Amino acid sequence: DVKVTQSSRYLVKRTGEKVFLECVQDMDHENMFWYRQDPGLGLRLIYFSYDVKMKEKGDIPEGYSVSREKKERFSLILESASTNQTSMYLCASASPSKTSTDTQYFGPGTRLTVL
């Protein structure tokens, strides 16, 4: 069965703290993604990675960085957390087919609150 796990379901941090969110998938997928989801705005792509050590900015990368040292693990880093980064963070993975985009599988999400 497909599995994407995230390190925490709920996290509370203070403004200015460095925050690490980890995501692990066991499906040997090449592509991994970090989104945030906010009411009325839907899911917005922060960063994605199509291979180990490769990363691309998504639509809202400001204030975030990522790390992909191993194929199964994709980390999202908030260098200096701010209150406007309070959100639900969702990790996803997908295996690209040669002719079309493949299905994304999501982790359970991390609800981050920055005080």
Partner 1 sequence: RKEVEQDPGPFNVPEGATVAFNCTYSNSASQSFFWYRQDCRKEPKLLMSVYSSGNEDGRFTAQLNRASQYISLLIRDSKLSDSATYLCVVSPGTYKYIFGTGTRLKVLA
The footprint of partner 1 (CB under 8 A) covers: 31, 33, 35, 40-43, 45, 48, 50, 56, 90, 96, 100-101, 103-109, 111
Q: How far is CA 22 from CA 32, 40, 98, 101, in A?
A: 12, 25, 28, 24
Q: Which is nearer to partner 1, 77 or 106 (CB)?
A: 106
Shortest CB 66 distance to partner 1, Å: 14
Shortest CB 7 distance to partner 1, Å: 14
Q: Which is nearer to partner 1, 16 or 96 (CB)?
A: 96
Please check whether residue 93 is in contact with residue 4, taking contact to mean a CB–CB distance below 8 angstroms.
yes
Shortest CB 1 distance to partner 1, Å: 12
Please check whether residue 69 is in contact with residue 60, taking contact to mean a CB–CB distance below 8 angstroms.
no
Please check whether residue 115 is in contact with residue 108, taking contact to mean a CB–CB distance below 8 angstroms.
no
